[in-house]
Structure 1
């Protein structure tokens, strides 16, 4: 196929309503479940509670799905699961809006051309799986398995990954690594030898003083952390927030410091300067448990509070006050590592600054400080034999593989290799690629134009499905089994089970079954057990339990982690030196500065403002964008652009009016956005929630609501150590509605 033909074939297709669940079909199918037919899980007129875990964000809280007459009528927090403790955030309770969304994908779809136009036709599962297997096999035979890549998000990807590894494919990428979690994991690994964890290893509920840099708890929710912060505040916890915006968390703080965006490293260096010059750091801990102190001091000695004040816009006396109070409350004090940590090209070093500040006050494994959670000792899953090719690592970034061994490249590298004709096929699981922040919408669509074959597995007709050759409708997390959630450390180690509360609706299927069907078509026999239940039961029996037993509560609990170090305990760390590395040997060996350096970031052009982003409690980007149960709330229906009153006056903007946004490259937002005039944002920045501005009409609730942040990204920076993508050096101005 010529490239010109491929460009035509990759046209965006507006999926017909005939292929979606639709209100009438939805009510008909729900009616069948009410009658007790077609739902063996619930049984006729049965009422029960099914324990599982949530899919609406990576926190994966325990849920209790309440089923009556074959239909889920409410979702509550599981009292058995340590991450929920009987409570859920709004997104967790709103899962009913996903399973009963009338815009759900109802049937497999195959792209074809009719009369010179691309269109979709309804296909059987056998047709769709056969075509997918044939195309993947052909591409592997012609170009090798390295020409196939999988982009994924969400917990259901594991079965597909197992299938692809057995097929010889080892190009896997998780876009959230690029712009969210990558620096957070690697910054801690380079410093302490282990990740910051999810949930983060900060003993908040027992802390007396916690400093946050741009972490939006209360807006991005994270159920357990919000509960722990609430408990900490009840006990007298003092909070300090550095953020250009007055966030919900800032409203709980004793001090909000509206730092200039992009200057966090200068601020943290100045705090280190105060700790060292005033002898406030824990000298004994630093001498016994760290390396690189002299090199660190040589870097930060010139970053006085007065110098940092000029850079950060925070007065020198405030910098000294925070550093002194931090030391006075230590070791029951901490700087929180945050969540979405990749803003610029220095994300890894920024997180290392946080880790270093914690190390200087000796709070490691101390009440209220940095703690290391333990995992449940769940035996590893049995794996099919992988070809030798599986061992290859494809990322060009030298420190990438220390973070996520299960990923072999950054998602923007998939885009780049596709543009270079190295990757020919994409298998996209649960990622709305055009609206996922990597290199922005324009660059992503250029890569999509180049790919020869694209498969999308999703529950909804997200924008990516309109570019796919094959669309495979997966059932929701409430209708399927996934692999066990047992790989995350926590203060109470656990293994959680995702299990179906009701049967799959329409012609959708669980991911584990789709992966098994593909494996069979590709002659990959023996990759999976005969059933997912058999596989899960084997794993749980190896852990001393069984599927039947764990289904009752949805969770298997271990013994609480011994969080705190004992007097005289010798600490060891999985770093090259065996100690906390204030100066990182791995960074030095890879050609980077061993200690964090402050680098000045570009300023906004005249009349433009730096875009800051976040989320709302009801929104987890693509997972909930079309959820009527959540988005019918007035505060969730669209995003706003936060504008300082002085900026609004300068541009003639009034509160509540609609404007289009134009970025520094001349890109204008496709849809308008409502202006929110507020003192809660600095004059040199604006703020908007990411995940709005969907352009696919079949997302009936999400379509045209607000503006797309991803569309306005045309300037990115790469963290050359780990490959994370920074996008906060984008700036916008306003175009008033005619």
Structure 2
């Protein structure tokens, strides 16, 4: 068998081998070569350490670590967990490769080149913190708090974010988890049932599970997937609404191959059918519903036939779904989804999902939407001061919200537009903490222009992601395996008679290496330099977690002795609150200038010769965050582009062909990927996994691997009610051998 070893691969392999090579003290003293800090010391008796909470994705499974000497060699699910149990996914296992990734940021760095084309100089923490504190203070004094903005992500970003918002007083904070992910879902459900939904559906006890664009099995959030599988094992029927034959669609009883962007029309037709035929839960609606008459009048035009024509699916299939839901109500899981920033008409779609759940009486019942009643812990952080709304970009001159149902923070586009125009005020200082806005926010060139015009840009991260190339000061953060911060709480989701709650604080499984620091140290030191030392709430991350545990009557030592997870008796999750209400019609939404009932807004169709670009998750990656992980990269090194097999044949494309992409604005992908031909996708869309195609050359594994779909999302669409982005409103052609290929049909 031929052994194909390129020079680059050899050098990479040699570098990795050198990092792990054990050297005795005798050799080191003779040669002046120091033992690698990645190599373990001490005895080789394996030790189990508890208190791990994963963050290879946001689901945060509870972990234990296996140590050999001072080196962490393996991660496993915590056997005490009533959440994920002993199970963790491929990404969770690969946390070891993140911890010891040779490309990880190790020292504070100063950019002595240009933003976007950096030249890095290693500096001391003293110099780095002095510069960050001085530059941020200068912006704060010259422009006010409104002259600063922040793009945070992850649990470690909460503490610095609260410093920016509560103490400094800036409103200009945009979290990708809200404005490019779940924020629309949360505010739509708040406007319908008064609560953000989370992913709280009792799938183990459901008779029917309905997923709208939810590709379970590809996102692999372990405890969530276990609940989903338990429901299927218990006999639940599965309805999947998706333009693509996803992993979930492959297990479905009904796969609705819907036209992208028409989901709300589909939901309105189902609700209209249920109301007309008296197949909704009249008793539940009479007691807990408000506005049914307005809903009925507003959606009466949505017949099965009209929706079928709009959604390009059979009318009989819409009726089949409605009948299946009605026959099994109220024990149906209408999943609210998570990443719902799709087409710019998303608030109304999420309202429709909540209203459909209400019509079926599927709130606070077995198999329905049930918020697990988790235990209370503290939230010690920076004290919140009232800075007023004078400089809130989401408020107009009449003190009315431009986007009345915006998630927490400020809509991303308002921040970027203000930064580029200087109106209503300039934004000249930027803190980026754990987020990669180059690859999370549509309009990469716009984001780069925003960063170019800043007086100062500070980045804090674990890895050298693409956005770190735009930093003036780049600070290395400890990973989730090396710090205290987050406390995971929850409920036992099989909802047996003995309801249980759990509390699992994140504790370090390994000591930090090199010069990496945690979020509390970094934020406190910058706060001191900006003149806010008296405001500092805790002296360390460990103290922060201890104070938060005090609210639950716990200490870190106690939880550690209990195996890293504290459990206690829970409460009945099915108890209906006295004030619960489903607003089928919301007068406040109408007063704000939007439809008070869920309303369908058509999306722009693909232009001639183009097809719609869809994207999503894969089981072995968390978007861009894991692209440099050696184990995960080997499992899926690129993101093949899915294209309908009939279209592919007309275009002369075959499986494995190398292609690039170009969008409707003429933006081309920097890199290429391969073709996956399949009948499992509609002809008016293509699909690829998100997060590939990193541009930072410091990522020796992930750079230039696959295509960056975000680079092709240049047409910016904003949801009218929330200000959050629509992320699936761009269109592409494929490019093979330098030739642009028209898509034969979008029908």
TM-score where L is the length of structure 2:
0.89
**What is aligned with 2:617?**
615
Distance in 2 between the 1:448 and 1:121 partners?
20
TM-superposed CA distance for 1:291, in Å, is 1.0
Distance in 2 between the 1:334 and 1:129 partners?
50
**What is aligned with 2:183?**
182
**What is aligned with 1:439?**
442
**1:555 counterpart (561, 565, 568):** 565
Farther-moved stretch of structure 1 (205-214 vs 506-515): 506-515
**What is aligned with 1:465?**
468
SS of equivalent residue, structure 2 residue 512: coil
Deviations 1:229-285 (A, max 9, x none): 111111101101111000001111111121111110111111011101111011121
TM-superposed CA distance for 1:610, in Å, is 0.6
TM-superposed CA distance for 1:389, in Å, is 5.3
Distance in 2 between the 1:475 and 1:700 partners?
20
Q: Is the 8 A contact 2:38 2:100 kept in 1?
A: no
Deviations 1:85-126 (A, max 9, x none): 221121111101111111111110112259xx9622110000
TM-superposed CA distance for 1:424, in Å, is 0.7
After TM superposition, list the pairs within 5 Å mapping 1:79-118 onto structure 2. Answer: 79-112=79-112
Question: Are 2:549 and 1:540 equivalent residues in the alignment?
Answer: yes
After TM superposition, list the pairs within 5 Å mapping 1:505-524 onto structure 2. Answer: 505-524=513-532
**What is aligned with 1:564?**
574
Question: Are 2:683 and 1:662 equivalent residues in the alignment?
Answer: no
Distance in 2 between the 1:89 and 1:506 partners?
28
Farther-moved stretch of structure 1 (580-589 vs 683-692): 580-589
Distance in 2 between the 1:385 and 1:154 partners?
20
TM-superposed CA distance for 1:486, in Å, is 4.8
Distance in 1 between the 2:190 and 2:714 partners?
31
**1:495 counterpart (503, 517, 522):** 503
Distance in 2 between the 1:721 and 1:525 partners?
39
After TM superposition, list the pairs within 5 Å mapping 1:319-398 onto structure 2. Answer: 319-381=318-380, 383-384=382-383, 386=385, 388=387, 393-396=392-395, 398=401
Distance in 2 between the 1:530 and 1:571 partners?
42
Distance in 1 between the 2:434 and 2:69 partners?
30
**2:432 counterpart (428, 434, 444):** 428
**What is aligned with 2:722?**
722
Distance in 2 between the 1:292 and 1:493 partners?
36
Q: Is the 8 A contact 2:212 2:241 kept in 1?
A: yes
**What is aligned with 1:12?**
none
Distance in 2 between the 1:391 and 1:25 partners?
53
Distance in 2 between the 1:689 and 1:261 partners?
17
Distance in 2 between the 1:24 and 1:211 partners?
51
SS of equivalent residue, structure 1 residue 723: coil
How many positions carry a matched residue from both structures?
Answer: 697
Q: Is the 8 A contact 2:118 2:470 kept in 1?
A: no
TM-superposed CA distance for 1:25, in Å, is 5.0
Farther-moved stretch of structure 1 (468-477 vs 408-417): 408-417
Change in 2 beyond 3 A, CA 1:122/1:366: same
Deviations 1:388-413 (A, max 9, x none): 45997543593868675xx4212333
TM-score where L is the length of structure 1:
0.90
**2:632 counterpart (608, 630, 651):** 630
Q: Is the 8 A contact 2:381 2:537 kept in 1?
A: no
TM-superposed CA distance for 1:625, in Å, is 1.1
* CA RMSD, 1 decimal: 2.4
**What is aligned with 1:706?**
706
TM-superposed CA distance for 1:464, in Å, is 1.0
**What is aligned with 1:161?**
161
Q: Is the 8 A contact 2:630 2:701 kept in 1?
A: yes
Q: Is the 8 A contact 1:162 1:383 kept in 2?
A: yes
Question: Are 2:588 and 1:589 equivalent residues in the alignment?
Answer: no
Distance in 2 between the 1:379 and 1:176 partners?
22
Distance in 2 between the 1:528 and 1:73 partners?
35
Deviations 1:517-545 (A, max 9, x none): 22222232241323332332233233211
Change in 2 beyond 3 A, CA 1:480/1:570: closer
Change in 2 beyond 3 A, CA 1:402/1:610: closer
Change in 2 beyond 3 A, CA 1:23/1:122: farther
TM-superposed CA distance for 1:24, in Å, is 4.1
SS of equivalent residue, structure 1 residue 477: coil
Deviations 1:650-678 (A, max 9, x none): 22111101111111111111111200000
**What is aligned with 1:454?**
457
SS of equivalent residue, structure 1 residue 632: helix
Distance in 1 between the 2:186 and 2:582 partners?
15
**What is aligned with 1:643?**
643
**What is aligned with 1:284?**
283
Farther-moved stretch of structure 1 (327-336 vs 49-58): 49-58
Structure 1 unaligned blocks of 5 or more? 1-16, 38-42, 574-578
Deviations 1:150-183 (A, max 9, x none): 1111110122124333233343210221121011
**What is aligned with 2:267?**
268
SS of equivalent residue, structure 2 residue 503: strand
TM-superposed CA distance for 1:458, in Å, is 0.7
Question: Are 2:172 and 1:192 equivalent residues in the alignment?
Answer: no
Change in 2 beyond 3 A, CA 1:400/1:377: farther
Distance in 2 between the 1:656 and 1:440 partners?
29
**What is aligned with 1:61?**
61
**What is aligned with 1:529?**
538
Distance in 2 between the 1:30 and 1:201 partners?
49
Distance in 2 between the 1:30 and 1:551 partners?
32
Distance in 2 between the 1:175 and 1:216 partners?
20
Q: Is the 8 A contact 1:48 1:68 kept in 2?
A: no
Change in 2 beyond 3 A, CA 1:27/1:499: farther
Distance in 2 between the 1:686 and 1:339 partners?
21
Change in 2 beyond 3 A, CA 1:119/1:480: same
SS of equivalent residue, structure 2 residue 50: strand
Question: Are 2:139 and 1:131 equivalent residues in the alignment?
Answer: no
SS of equivalent residue, structure 2 residue 159: helix
Deviations 1:615-661 (A, max 9, x none): 1111101221111121111xx11001001111112221111011111
Deviations 1:674-712 (A, max 9, x none): 000001101111000010011122111111111110010
TM-superposed CA distance for 1:32, in Å, is 4.5
TM-superposed CA distance for 1:727, in Å, is 2.4
Change in 2 beyond 3 A, CA 1:122/1:245: same
Distance in 1 between the 2:342 and 2:676 partners?
23
SS of equivalent residue, structure 1 residue 551: helix
Farther-moved stretch of structure 1 (141-150 vs 46-55): 46-55
